[in-house]
Structure 1
Amino acid sequence: MRKALLTGAALAALLSAPVAAQVSKQVYQLHQKLLTLDTHLDTPASLDLPGWSIEEEHDVLHDYTQVDLPRMKKGGLDGGFWAIYTSQGPLTIEGFHKARDFAIMRGLSIRNMVAADPANFALATEAKDAAPIAAAGKRVVYMSIENAYPLGEDVSLLDTFYAMGVRVVGFAHFAHNQFADSSTDPSGKPRYGGLSPLGKELLKEMNRLGVVPDASHSSDQVLDDLLALSTTPVLLTHSGCKAVYDHPRNIDDAHLKALAAKGGVIQMNAYGAYLRASKPNPQRQEALKALYGQMREGAKLSAEKRAELLAKRQEIDKLYPDTDRPGFDDFMKHMLHALEVVGPDHVGIGADWDGGGGVVGMEDVADLPKITAALLKAGYSEADVQKIWSGNVLRVLAAAEAAKGK
């Protein structure tokens, strides 16, 4: 699963990254040879931005994006699961069709990224694909779906997305949908008490195809149903620990242990609002809400309009600075707690890059060597760190592949 050691010149070039001052040369080189995968990259949304290129290095403080090819190289990120994310819309035929079309086009954006640069990106569809892709110096592109809403009421549509390359699917997002209860539905009340009957049919189809069930964003009762009904292990692609911060998006220790008992893995989130409570900043929240209303998904932004919105965002940061953002230590508290509860065979990393993830001290993927350094400092072995960075999620994917059709 390892890549070849970097040459002196290559290492020197990468060590010019700012994170190099925060980790030792030895740790940095170890990190670079590990096979590193993040299970929740919302970066496909960036691919459709006017004038934005995955090939160019961007600045998180300027355009707020967190993943591109140069920063992946600096941060030693080999790739991961690139998400087809669709926000929750109305549970109507019109809503389903609109979401389906959007999701298919977003999936094609991912495939086009790979096709446009085969020297640097390669599609992966099986667990065994990741290591040789990384060894060849390319970025690994698995595909996932965040929110199964675009599948409408026809679970056979999953076949289309499977053929496209999707291998992980999450059932719900911020609100209940036709398949499952969300952990954060605005009603505060369950709709089904777990998976809906259609959700159970979708799980059967996922098991048949070899698609990994993702319980992030879904309610605890959905996780209970998945653990009881799935023929394969369950993944939490980007979640945290309720024992560290009691938030509906986080998982309690009992569920962590149940997840691990069935071979599943929790991939640790770096979404600040789920890591700890922060001081209220209502003026900032209102300003951002108004801004985001102008940047709704699916809107065809011109380069000029995007530049205007970015300028507004930068102005908001100046007028109402976020002075109580969670930091890297807050992220590590969740990870170290999960490791203490279920051990290094059942923990991984899914930081929610380009989807709200990122903390003070770990603003984009160039900072990822800090995680390896922190894990080693906490006493975890190189073998443990390799499991956390990719071994565990690849084991879950392999289990889904082995069980398909049974």
Structure 2
Amino acid sequence: MRRLLTVLLGSAALLTGVAHAADKKAPEKPAEVPKAIKTLHDGFLTLDTHLDTPEHFARQGWSMIDRHAVAEDGTQVDLPRMKAGGLDGGFFVIYTGQGELTAEGYRKARDFALNRATEIREMVAAHPDQFELAYTAEDAARINKAGKVFVFQSIENSWPIGEDLTLLETFYKTGVRMAGPVHFRNNQFADSSTDPKGKIWHGYSPLGLRWLAEANRLGILVDVSHASDDIVDQSVALSKAPIIASHSGAKAIFDHPRNLDDARIKKIADSGGAICINSVYLKASEQPSPELMAALKALGPLDDEATEAQVKARMVKMAALKAQYTFPPRANFETFMASMLHTLKIAGPKAVCIGADWDGGGGVEGLEDVADLPKITARLKAEGYSDADIQAIWSGNVLRLIAGAQAYAKSVAGK
């Protein structure tokens, strides 16, 4: 159920264009951010809606307060790089890879997800001067003013809820304030946008409709990233509070099921929701050469319980392969911005946000980790967006949605 470390370090990453390898034909990297723009960026309250960094919290030898490097261990988020990139907080993800829809499958998934939620809280508790859990939209500014990183929690894939919707309230009480019903495969609640078997529910299942109603009742922001187009349509129509796509992109830039077409981008925006721009699914993947595939296969799998030292040793071997073979070209900063700018054109700055899928497969040439985030602000300024627009994109829109979900829950409490 863990996201295998090979997502970052092995052939799967290469095939989706996220391996950190030089591309001889890649365009020049974006220029360094001028000091004035960096100062402007640092003045914004910023958040990312999809940080898969909790995947690393239990790794022996890895610490959130140490500075790491993509080239050394594949990670993209830690406290020093958040400070360098002016990232004030975000949604730390409780991710569970889809498994069997059985009582035993649900039990294992539940225990895994509750443990991941515990790991997030333990990380925060271990560093109380640097991090604080956030539960409301107002918490973000308060925690930031205190000089700490605000930590919201979200669920990516509600499979661990099983068929017991009271567990959604259990997760709410742990701090979860955003949840998506489904991931790469269909589950008991909803159809995925990427299940090779196709649709089984044509949107939400009957249980999924109850999941949606319960999320609304609790004040959990509904996330439609990874969900089928039918789910997007039904969520807009049925949710009592505006919804979010926490890490999605524009299908007009790259036609992939994980991306949203213009009609659905506009539908989400017109209903008061927002689309957070992903740094994955930006271009078609190219197959590595047979020789490179053989070399990658020879490395063997990296165990989910690998230590930091073992991960670094794997990265040394990967670096040797990069020196020997030509890796497929990756997406770049310009492609990422094309997805964002297109979405802004369709939805407007009051309906766009940022969820780059850091530590979950995200990152492109020129936007390698969260230390590079000021480049986004620089580009938005160059495109003519106002400071108010950029503040909305960086956090205002998301905080509005959190507040909206909680306002609805308050309005029906006790009824």
TM-score, normalised relative to structure 1 = 0.90
Matched, 1:124 2:134: yes
Is 2:231 the partner of 1:222? yes
* CA displacement at 1:311 relative to structure 2: 3.8
**Are residue 110 (structure 1) and residue 120 (structure 2) matched?**
yes
What is the CA-CA distance between 1:147 and the residue it aligns to? 0.5
2-structure distance, mates of 1:359, 1:96: 35
Change (3 A) 1:393 1:113: same
- 1:368 has 2:377 as partner: no
Tell whether 2:301 aligns with 1:280: no
The whole-number CA distance in structure 2 between the counterparts of 1:314 and 1:191 is 43
**CA distance, structure 2, for counterparts of residue 292 and residue 165 of structure 1:** 38
* 1:2-60 C-alpha deviation (Å, 9 max, x unpaired): xxxxxxxxxxxxxxxxx997011110001011000000000000111110000100011
| Matching residue's letter, 2:213 | K
Tell me the equivalent position of 1:14: none
Does structure 1 retain, via aligned residues, the 8 Å contact 2:71–2:315?
no
Please state whether the residue corresponding to 1:404 is helix, strand or coil: helix
Instruction: Supply the AA of the counterpart residue of 2:377.
Output: T
CA drift of 1:186 comes to 2.1
Alignment map for 1:85-104 (pairs within 5 Å)? 85-104=95-114
Q: 2:384 aligns with which of 375, 379, 384?
A: 379
Name the stretch that deviates more: 87-96 or 395-404.
Answer: 87-96
Q: Post-superposition shift, 1:277?
A: 1.8
The residue that corresponds to 2:363 in the other structure is 358
Pick closer, same or farther for the CA change 1:255–1:25 going to 2, 3 Å. same
2:61 matches 1:51? yes
Instruction: Look up the match of 1:251.
Output: 260
Letter of the 1:279 partner, please give it.
E
Q: Does 2:338 align with 1:338?
A: no
Whether 2:161 is the aligned partner of 1:151: answer: yes
Asked whether the equivalents of residues 20 and 28 of structure 1 are also in contact (C-alpha less than 8 Å), the reply is: no
Letter in 2 for 1:191: I
Equivalence for 2:202: 193
CA separation in 2, counterparts of 1:292 and 1:387? 45
Find 2:213's aligned residue among 204, 221, 226: 204
Structure 2 partner of 1:404? 409
Give yes or no for contact 2:288–2:328 (8 Å, CA) kept in 1: no
SS in 2 for 1:208: helix
- The residue matched to 1:22 in structure 2 has which SS? coil
SS at 2:349 equivalent: coil
Q: Are residue 162 (structure 1) and residue 210 (structure 2) matched?
A: no
Higher RCO, 1 vs 2 (CA within 8 Å, ≥6 residues apart): 2
- Give me the whole-angstrom Cα distance separating, in 2, the residues matched to 1:380 and 1:335: 12
Q: Which residue of structure 2 aligns with residue 15 of structure 1? A: none
Is 1:393 aligned with 2:405? no
The answer to whether the 8 Å contact 2:72/2:312 transfers is no
Write out per-residue CA displacement over residues 137-156 of structure 1, whole angstroms, 9 at most, x where no aligned residue.
11110000001011111111
1:257-287 alpha-carbon deviations (Å, 9 max, x no partner): 110111000000011xx11124322545676
- In the TM superposition, structure 1's runs of 4+ consecutive aligned residues that sit over 4 Å from their partners are 282-293, 302-305
Distance 1:289 1:125 in 2: 44
1:84 aligns with 2:91: no
Contact map agreement 2:62 2:308 (CA 8 A) in 1: no
Give the CA RMSD over aligned residues. 1.9
Ranges in structure 1 where 5+ consecutive residues have no aligned partner: 1-18
1:278 and 1:326 in contact (8 A); partners too:
no
Deviation at 1:373, TM superposition (A): 0.2
CA distance in 2, matches of 1:282, 1:94: 41
Which residue of 237, 260, 267 maps to 2:246? 237
CA distance in 1, matches of 2:121, 2:34: 36
CA distance in 2 between counterparts of 1:140 and 1:156 reads 27
* Structure 1 partner of 2:5: none
AA at the equivalent of 1:66: Q
The change in CA–CA distance for 1:220 and 1:316 in structure 2 (over 3 A counts) is: farther
CA distance in 1, matches of 2:202, 2:317: 41
Q: SS of the counterpart of 2:93? A: strand
Point out where structure 2 has 5 or more consecutive residues left out of the alignment. Answer: 1-28
TM-score when normalising by structure 2? 0.88
Partner of residue 41 from structure 1, selected from 45, 51, 59: 51
Distance 1:158 1:292 in 2: 38
Which residue identity lines up with residue 281 of structure 1 in the other structure?
P
Q: Structure 1 CA distance, aligned partners of 2:293 and 2:401?
A: 38
Q: Call closer, same or farther: CA 1:79–1:279 in 2, change over 3 Å.
A: same
| Separation in structure 1 between the aligned mates of residue 70 and residue 61 of structure 2, nearest angstrom | 16
Output the CA distance in 1 between the equivalents of 2:309 and 2:396. 43
Equivalent residue in structure 1 for 2:271, among 252, 262, 274: 262
SS where residue 27 of structure 1 aligns?
A: helix
